[in-house]
Structure 1
Amino acid sequence: MWELLNAKQIFTAGMILFAVIDIIGNIPIIIDLRKKVGHIQSEKASVVAGIIMIVFLFVGKEILNLIGIDVNSFAVAGAFILFFLALEMILGITLYKDDEPETASIVPLAFPLIAGAGTLTTLVSLQAEYEAINIIVAILINIIFVYMVLKSSNKIEKVLGSQGISVIRKVFGVILLAIAVKLFATNIQSLFT
């Protein structure tokens, strides 16, 4: 198993996951959540997100097949979610209204913010190109980085200020919108062929 470790695969898979998880772009959402609930359970959110991703890496396709959903349909659904999240970030509106959560750990941090539809779809796609051990290492590296960002969200907010956070939120909203459009365009074609 250890002989399958490949630094290039780990780096590439890690960078792809880093872009899709987009924890830097989610800093404004994390700060908003912390203001609403008062405390973010960084450890719990990171561990649960890591477990969700690793489990989905091994049984994701089977789960989707079991309920009669192909990967492309899952990806299109994920594209819609990302699209609406991006609109919220860019326009400063709230489309999704939920009961006020008491804590922010599993929902909405671990799922769908960190291990969301885009991340899970990406994991299924990465399986076709990379060894599972390299993807797991890439997941763990990303989870460590996610934990560090969650833990230091207070300091990040102080450094950036409200204007900086607003700018980052809009910029990453546009990037998220582009990812949503690409995810939709790539997968919608295969639904009709």
Structure 2
Amino acid sequence: MNEFLQAFVSLLAITNPIVAAPLFLGIVVGMPANAKRRAASHAGFAVFAILAGSALGGRHILELFGISLDAFRTAGGLVIILVGLEMLRGSPSGIQQDEASPEDPRDRIFVPFAMPLVAGPGAITTAITLSVTYPSRLYLPVIALLASIACALVLWLTLRLALVRQRLATPRVERIFTRFMGLILVAIGFQIGMLGIRDFFKLGGA
């Protein structure tokens, strides 16, 4: 349970649903109410597919390129730290920014909203890092997969609430939540990175 909570908080911090909610509202503006609700479901499913795919296939990708799990854990922890430091400054991470934006609002739900604004390189790296940090006995990254499901559900609920109460995600709430989650993300990134360094140099136990 502790490992699941850590994985869930890591993904939740880097996807940052409260910050994503105003972006979603801007994309779906002018759409019928039922279309907005469908768009929220599509966004949640797209984010889940991206994170789950990264978690399930991450280990095989590393093996393909000959990268050790400990080296990737260390690098992944560094990426998480950098994203968290940018969030501590009160703004979404630059690693998640994308200037390209298709014209069709329905297309924008998937690109750039789902990827890379929510499940961008930072979130993908986090999912892969978690999958190799907490491998299950069944040789599938179950903890990272469950965390991806929970993160997608939180995003979906946040978007639905934002549609009902569009004043929920105020600029002040955004700033406070972004900085708080940035601090959590930095701490988690340090822990994952130090574990990778420890195991890479064989300085500690399993």
Question: TM-score, normalised on structure 2?
Answer: 0.67
RMSD, aligned α-carbons:
3.5
Distance 2:187 2:165 in 1: 25
1:190 aligns with 2:188: no
CA distance change for structure 1 residues 13 and 45 in 2, over 3 Å: closer, same or farther?
farther
How many residue pairs match? The answer is: 181
Task: List, as ranges, runs of 4+ consecutive aligned residues in structure 1 with deviation greater than 6 Å.
Answer: none
Share of identical aligned residues, percent? 19
Distance 1:24 1:157 in 2: 22
Q: Which residue of 2 aligns with 1:81?
A: 79
Q: Which residue of 1 aligns with 2:27?
A: 38
Deviations along 1:11-39, one digit per CA (max 9) or x if unpaired, are 5564333212115971353146447x634
1:40-189 to 2 correspondences below 5 Å: 41-92=39-90, 95-96=94-95, 98-102=98-102, 103=108, 104-112=113-121, 115-129=123-137, 132=140, 135=143, 136=145, 139-154=148-163, 158-159=167-168, 161-189=170-198
Question: TM-score, normalised on structure 1?
Answer: 0.70
Deviations along 1:44-79, one digit per CA (max 9) or x if unpaired, are 443233334444444322210111212222222222
Q: 2:12 aligns with which of 22, 26, 38?
A: 22
Deviations along 1:109-146, one digit per CA (max 9) or x if unpaired, are 23346x42122221233323567596455643443233
Distance 1:138 1:28 in 2: 18
| Unpaired segments ≥5 residues, structure 1 | 1-10
CA distance change for structure 1 residues 133 and 124 in 2, over 3 Å: closer, same or farther?
closer
CA contact 2:44–2:155 (8 Å) conserved in 1: yes
| Unpaired segments ≥5 residues, structure 2 | 29-35, 103-107
